[in-house]
Amino acid sequence: MVTWALICALMPNLEELFRQTLEDEVLSRSERKALAKILLEEPLDQREKQVLRSKIFQMAGSVLEDDEDRRILQWLYEANKLLARGEAKEVRGENQVYFSPGDACLETIKLMVRQARFSLDICVFTISDDRITREILNRAQQGLTVRILTDNEKLHDKGSDIDRMAAAGISVRIDATHHHMHHKFALVDDRYILTGSYNWTRSAAEYNEENLLVSDDANTIRQFQKKFDELWAEMQPYT
């Protein structure tokens, strides 16, 4: 039986942990919870997941004696690998930079919204690209905590999606000044910061020369989170 204490002692040797769960040929509920916890706290990138998945199938194959069972397992492995090719590539690494016009910034924002696990704090001048809005609404419906800060004038622009998201129950706050809340950044959990000139609009994707930086630098994230929390305390709820 794999216990949480054992996992802590053996981290990050996930291959060995999975091998030990195979000893009694049952992945128990407690083992699943323990492994899920470590995978949550020490997330793997897509390549690491593929390697581990391959090793797990090899482990299972090593205990099978029947040739037909091995062929079925091989079929399952190939089918699983085929499906995995369609999985979104995770954004990893200290800094990644994207530019528009083109879909690079748009697709990265959508991907980061999908990757959020606990919270998504958005502080953006204007949001009118419904392709991004759909991703935000989907995640909010799945239980993700979403907070949005935006400019009080831009939310009335034609095509603005702020009303739509507020009506869906997402917490929105706006500045109550004659000046602009001109930031363009978003915090994904406490793992990533997205920032740059890129507004979340179709024009930014299709026509404008814009940039988007994604960073997992802890100090940078901490400073942006502090600013977001300060603005959240200062600004007024939008209803």
Q: List residues with catalytic annotation.
A: 182, 184, 189
DSSP single-letter state for residue 100: E
**Rounded distance between C-alpha atoms, residue 64 and residue 68, angstroms:** 9
DSSP 27: -
- What distance in Å separates the CA atoms of residue 101 and residue 239, rounded to the nearest whole number? 33
Cis peptide bond prior to 101, omega within 30° of 0: yes
Amino acid at 217: D
Q: Are strands 145-150 and 171-174 parallel, antiparallel or unpaired?
A: parallel
> In this structure, what token pair is assigned to residue 236?
């007024």
Alpha-carbon gap, residue 151 to 183, rounded angstroms = 9
The residue with tokens 């000893």 is: 23
Give the span between the Cα atoms of 80 and 146, in whole angstroms. Answer: 32
Give one DSSP letter per residue of 110-127, joined into a string: HHHHHH-SSEEEEEES-B
**Secondary structure letter of residue 156 according to DSSP:** G
User: Cβ(198)–Cβ(100) under 8 Å?
Assistant: yes
